[in-house]
Structure 1
Amino acid sequence: MGTVPPDLLDGVRDAAPLHLGLVPFGLVAGVAAVEQGLSVLHAIGFSSIVFAGASQLAMIELLGADAPLAIVIGTAVMVNLRMMMYSASIAPYFRKFATRSKTLASYLLTDQAYALSIARYDHDTGTDRLAYYIGVAASLWVVWQSSTIAGAFLGESLPPEWGFEFAAPLVFLALLVPTLKDRASTASGLTGGVVAVAVVVAGVPFHADIMIAAVVGVAVGLFVDSRGGAA
């Protein structure tokens, strides 16, 4: 029996603080699915196939409102368009991997897995990239699936005063704050946050706030960097 790659264990350890924030987020997704009429088995299958918290909640909300299937699917695609940017950014690090490894990596890709992996790759060139990525991404997958399953079974028995709705923002803030290391990244992050709120307030449909904020935030970050804004 072979030993576990140390970089895989590093990935699990680095992702561990995020697991705590992911649990209530997953519970909310599981509860929401059942509340909108999905069976427990449907909720579990939905979470396993989609594996994307923000789009899962958006799709569940639309399904509960009897929205047309095309709108439900279109919204999920719009919310997850940011994954295309993540894929383009991380692809050069995975170029030499086998097709099946890259296929698995694409399924496991999340905001958290991308952020932690890119940070590791940029600072440690000796990392076993696939092992580290799987350590992060697979551990996040296990926690997410376990949490959504628990939420689906518990249903409405979870007390609303526990404030689970704050779980998702806290998870993303935990990822964002350490990356704000210079003027360009800070300008990008702040602009993205302001634009996202503005888009939501303006009532732009299909949950387009994520993609619009990402594009504008990246553009501002590149502009600041080109003007010598990096520290």
Structure 2
Amino acid sequence: MRRGGFWAGVASTAPVVPGAVAFGLVYGILARQAGLSLAATVIMSLLVFAGAAQFTAVGMWGQAGGPLIVLTTFIVNLRHLLMGASVAPHLRGQPGRWKSLLAFGLTDESYALAISRYLSGGGSREFFLGANLGLYVGWNLSTVVGAVLGGLVVDPGRWGIELVFPLTFLGLLMPLLVRPGTMVVALTSGAVAVTTAAWLPGKGNLVLAILVASGLGAALEGRWTRTQ
């Protein structure tokens, strides 16, 4: 394994780890307040490692049956299929153990970091792994702290951290807007997400926006390639 690429991947998470840590703290607090034990709260982060799904499960805890929670979190995580399909061409020829390891650690943030690196010609499996691991460690450590503080913080929403993730992803998006086609995809998918948020349940608007972005991006990429 090329250690330089791995540590570069870890270092690349520096701008996004603070956002993950903030949400990890809130997840730990809310999970304890919802009735999960300290062990269950921590184990969920260790094994699931999907913030949106974990927040969804915690929000439904005690109000819905297990099958409904599983189905809802599955829908929330459908975007991982699309992210995986997007990054898969860059992992052709890699051993199955590497693909499995990278798939487990795939998050919105690590995907953005890895795909940006691949598109610039400097991507590697080691970089991808480093990005995954940097976020994994930050998320789980903050989960532990939040779980311990669960009984001490009454209203974590007053911290105003709901702005952290949107600003983080805007920072990740901006370097990718290097071609007109990319800007068209970003603006279109954003418009779809906003206009459908009121009538699509759960995170359905995000799934639809991702599908639109994937289809439009593929069409524009093929057209752009043919004109070169």
Q: TM-score, normalised by structure 1?
A: 0.86
State the one-letter code of the partner of 1:182. R
Q: Which of 133, 143, 153 is residue 138 of structure 1 equivalent to?
A: 133
1:166 counterpart = 2:157: no
SS at match of 1:90: helix
| Deviation by residue 1:31-53 (Cα, 9 ceiling, x = unmatched) | 11111111111110111111111
Which residue in 2 is equivalent to 1:205?
A: 201
Q: Across the two proteins, how many residue pairs are aligned to each other?
A: 225
Q: For structure 1, list consecutive stretches of 5 or more residues without a partner in the other structure.
A: none
The 2-side partners of 1:198 and 1:36 are apart by 31
Find the counterpart in structure 1 of residue 143 from structure 2: 148
Pair 1:82 & 2:79 matched: yes
Instruction: Indicate which of 93, 114, 119 corresponds to 1:117.
Output: 114
Percent identical: 35
Q: Quick one: which amino acid aligns to residue 28 of structure 1?
A: V
> What residue identity is the alignment partner of 2:205?
D
Q: In the alignment, is the contact (CA less than 8 A) between 1:8 and 1:132 conserved in 2? A: yes
**Matching of residue 184 in structure 1 with residue 181 in structure 2:** yes
Of residues 136-145 and 110-119 in structure 1, the stretch that sits farther from structure 2 once superposed is 110-119
Q: Secondary structure at the match of 2:165?
A: helix
Structure 2 segments unaligned to the other structure (5+ residues) = none
Structure 1 counterpart SS, 2:61: helix
Contact 1:113 1:137 in 2 (8 A): yes
Moved over 6 A (4+): none
121 and 160 in structure 1: CA distance in 2 versus 1, 3 angstrom threshold: closer
Q: Distance in 2 between matches of 1:58 and 1:168?
A: 16
| Distance (Å, rounded) in 2 between the aligned partners of 1:227 and 1:103 | 32
Contact 1:195/1:209, CA 8 A, preserved across alignment? yes
CA RMSD of aligned residues (A): 2.5
In the alignment, is the contact (CA less than 8 A) between 1:183 and 1:224 conserved in 2? Answer: no
Which aligned pairs between 1:1-231 and structure 2 lie closer than 5 A? 5-64=3-62, 66-125=63-122, 127=123, 129-158=124-153, 160-202=157-199, 204-222=200-218
